A and B are shown apart, each in its own frame.
Chain A
Amino acid sequence: MTEELLRLDEVRKHFGLSGAPWRAAQTVKAVDGVSLVVRKGETVGLVGESGSGKSTLARVATRLLDPTSGRVQIGGKDVTKLRGRRLRPTRRTVQMVFQDPQASLNPRQSVGTILSTPFRAQGTRPTRAQLIELLEKVGLSAEHLERYPHEFSGGQRQRIGIARALAVSPELLICDEPVSALDVSVQAQVLNLLADLRDELGLSYVVVAHDLAVVRQVASRVAVMYLGTIVEEGPADQVYAAPAHPYTKALLSAVPMPEPGVTRDRIVLTGDVPTPISPPSGCPFRTRCYKAEDICATDRPVLEIINGQTEHRAACYFPEPPPPERK
């Protein structure tokens, strides 16, 4: 079995939320019991709608946030309890790329300074040649070293964000919505760059995105999140071709296709995602599910192998049967 880069066991992250000072604080169960393994060479796509907890999970996985409970292992080492300095070795294994490169790059620092920061955090000092090499890896060049973030386009800024993550030669990049702030034409460039880096550097990824097509493009394995839990997980080809969880099925059917005139069967879900402050009992999806029955309200279904596929699992009492084989 290939090396495990990241292993999450029953990870939970709950936030306290307070409004006016005289109102009782509430708990948001952003991530509520997620187990996930990322192996070397894999690209795991984490899809879900807003409020599904996918971004929070990414931050717990990189240990930017402390989990409320559960265990985080990075490179085979339990890092759940590590803080501050002692996380440094972890940072050399896992790095994060953020959604909004505008917000995640310090506007007062030149690209050179931004790129040397991760080196300094590891107690080393990069040479100019190292910085240039980093820039070239992401399709920029030496001339960009002295410039400031505002002098770049959105796509270039995201390249800088990726270069910064690559500075410490990590094995796993966790990308939180890496292209959602970019124009379509630029999106494709960044997605291709991620693919190139994977091939050249042997990188692994966790790509967090709400855009199912983006995840389809890059991921070898997919985990679908809903209200803080993973409801379906499996090889991308299988999940997209034969979704087993009603939520995944509805989600995929809702994606508009660039084929004018072609009508499709669409499962239009009613209502919105419930609030993670008071998620439904039992199965989190049951309030919007077209298959829900009594049992769904009482016990939360666990991820189980479906359709005899060893790698494809769904948390549902009534999973969708596989589609008939096409000749």
Chain B
Amino acid sequence: MPGLVWFVIRRLFSALLVMLALSLAVYLVFYAIPTDPALLACGKPCTPDRLEQARHFMQLDQSTMQQYLNFLKGIVAGRSYGEGAAVLHCDAPCFGYSFPLARPVSTLIADRFPVTASIALGAAVLWLVIGVSLGVLAALNRGRLLDRLAVGFALIGVSTPSFLFGLLAILVFGFWLNMVPVNGYVPLTESPVDWAWHLVTPWLVLAVLQASSYIRLTRAQMLEELNLDHITTARAKGAGERRVVVTHGLRGALVPIITLFGLDLGGLLGGAILTEKVFSMQGLGDLLIDSVGNLDVAVVVGVTLFAAFLVILANLVVDIVHGALDPRVSHG
């Protein structure tokens, strides 16, 4: 399908432009804030001389535009800070260097991403299963108790702030019932059981919150689908209710559900800020928040770009999956 290849290339190219604009915007915003990141690195006592030295070392004494160009150049060719014995090399592709954390941004993202990905992927599977099954059940029992319960659950889900729900979960499961660890992250490679055990509460918290929109979407889609003529056809063919609902009804409802799912997941992979904070997990969201506090512009730009890339990628994947799921799009 050469058409598809071209489509992907075009989309990736436009993604590149979007990310260029985005990174420039982040730079400009950061330099509009009247504070000086060099102050934090200056040490004590901070004499004007030492401050100037720090500024020079961090290349903050150059114009905003020049700094931005340095950043772009670093991606292609790598960059180094300072000279002589104190020189710091950041190899290409260099997305900047975090002075407060003393690590290249790319290394930081590589370290933190597995945490965020673990949280997001696990939760995503859960909320998809919960949301779709409750949505289908609600649609099939329209107006009855089950429907009202599901809709009520969805309402609570959308209106509860995630940190409140997360703290409650920690309180109940972690402290009162003492069932699960209250914080921390264990890499999957170290111990899969511990990994899952530490993640189970954040998964549930995120899933319950996110499931709300999936319940409502699935319910609405199913109600619409089940009213279509081809559902009557399926019944007239002699199909049983299960087959009518799943094979014929849910199949049609799937496209918008998968679309929403892809976009939600893409967004979450860029950092589940509140969840990570509440459960003290060092993911991308946690990194981003800390870096904003530290005026660590390199990390903020890096994480923002990474998150943006994931969202764009999710959009692209959703478009392709949409085509694959709906023959009316792919077989024009």
The residues of A with any CB-CB pair to B shorter than 8 Å are: 18-24
How many Å lie between the Cα of A24 and that of B332 in the bound state?
10
- Is B330 among interface residues, defined by CB-CB distance under 8 A? yes
Contact call B332/A21, Cβ cutoff below 8 A? no
How many Å lie between the Cα of A18 and that of B328 in the bound state?
11
A-B contact pairs, 9 of them (CB 8 A): A19-B328, A19-B332, A20-B329, A20-B330, A22-B1, A22-B3, A22-B6, A23-B332, A24-B3
Contacting residue for B319 out of A18, A19, A21, A23, CB 8 A: A21
Contact call A22/B4, Cβ cutoff below 8 A? yes
Chain B residue contacts of A20, Cβ below 8 A = 7, 323, 329-330, 332
Return the 8 tightest CB-CB contacts between A and B, nearest first.
A19-B332, A22-B7, A22-B3, A20-B329, A20-B323, A22-B4, A23-B332, A23-B3
Chain A residue contacts of B319, Cβ below 8 A = 21
Report which residue of A21, A22, A23 has the largest number of chain B beta carbons within 10 angstroms of its beta carbon. A22
Chain B: minimal CB distance from A15 (Å): 14
Chain B residue contacts of A23, Cβ below 8 A = 3, 332
Chain B residue contacts of A19, Cβ below 8 A = 328-330, 332
Chain A residue contacts of B323, Cβ below 8 A = 20, 22
* Known A20-B332, A21-B319, A22-B7; 12 more pairs at CB < 8 Å: A18-B332, A19-B329, A19-B332, A20-B329, A20-B330, A21-B7, A22-B1, A22-B8, A22-B323, A23-B3, A23-B332, A24-B3
Chain A: minimal CB distance from B327 (Å): 10
Closest residue of chain A to B331 (Cβ to Cβ) is A19
How many Å lie between the Cα of A22 and that of B6 in the bound state?
7
How many Å lie between the Cα of A24 and that of B7 in the bound state?
10
Chain A: minimal CB distance from B114 (Å): 32
Chain B residue contacts of A18, Cβ below 8 A = 332
How many Å lie between the Cα of A18 and that of B1 in the bound state?
16
Chain A: minimal CB distance from B324 (Å): 10
How many Å lie between the Cα of A19 and that of B6 in the bound state?
15
How many Å lie between the Cα of A21 and that of B3 in the bound state?
9
Chain A residue contacts of B332, Cβ below 8 A = 18-20, 23
Chain B residue contacts of A22, Cβ below 8 A = 1, 3-4, 6-8, 323
Chain A: minimal CB distance from B48 (Å): 57
Closest residue of chain A to B4 (Cβ to Cβ) is A22
Contact string, B292-332, partner A, CB cutoff 8 A, digits 1/0?
Answer: 00000000000000000000000000010001000011101
Chain A: minimal CB distance from B244 (Å): 29
How many Å lie between the Cα of A19 and that of B319 in the bound state?
12
Closest residue of chain A to B11 (Cβ to Cβ) is A21
Closest residue of chain A to B324 (Cβ to Cβ) is A20
How many Å lie between the Cα of A195 and that of B319 in the bound state?
53
How many Å lie between the Cα of A22 and that of B8 in the bound state?
8
How many Å lie between the Cα of A23 and that of B2 in the bound state?
10
Chain A: minimal CB distance from B99 (Å): 43
Chain B: minimal CB distance from A23 (Å): 6
Chain A residue contacts of B329, Cβ below 8 A = 19-20
How many Å lie between the Cα of A18 and that of B330 in the bound state?
11
Chain A: minimal CB distance from B281 (Å): 37
How many Å lie between the Cα of A20 and that of B326 in the bound state?
10
Tell me the chain B residues, 107-130 only, with Cβ under 8 Å from chain A.
none
Closest residue of chain B to A24 (Cβ to Cβ) is B3
Chain B: minimal CB distance from A276 (Å): 15
Tell me the chain B residues, 1-43 only, with Cβ under 8 Å from chain A.
1, 3-4, 6-8
Chain A residue contacts of B8, Cβ below 8 A = 22
Report which residue of A19, A20, A21, A24 has the largest number of chain B beta carbons within 10 angstroms of its beta carbon. A20
Closest residue of chain B to A19 (Cβ to Cβ) is B332
Chain B residue contacts of A21, Cβ below 8 A = 7, 319
Chain A residue contacts of B330, Cβ below 8 A = 19-20
Tell me the chain B residues, 74-101 only, with Cβ under 8 Å from chain A.
none
Closest residue of chain B to A22 (Cβ to Cβ) is B7
How many Å lie between the Cα of A23 and that of B330 in the bound state?
8
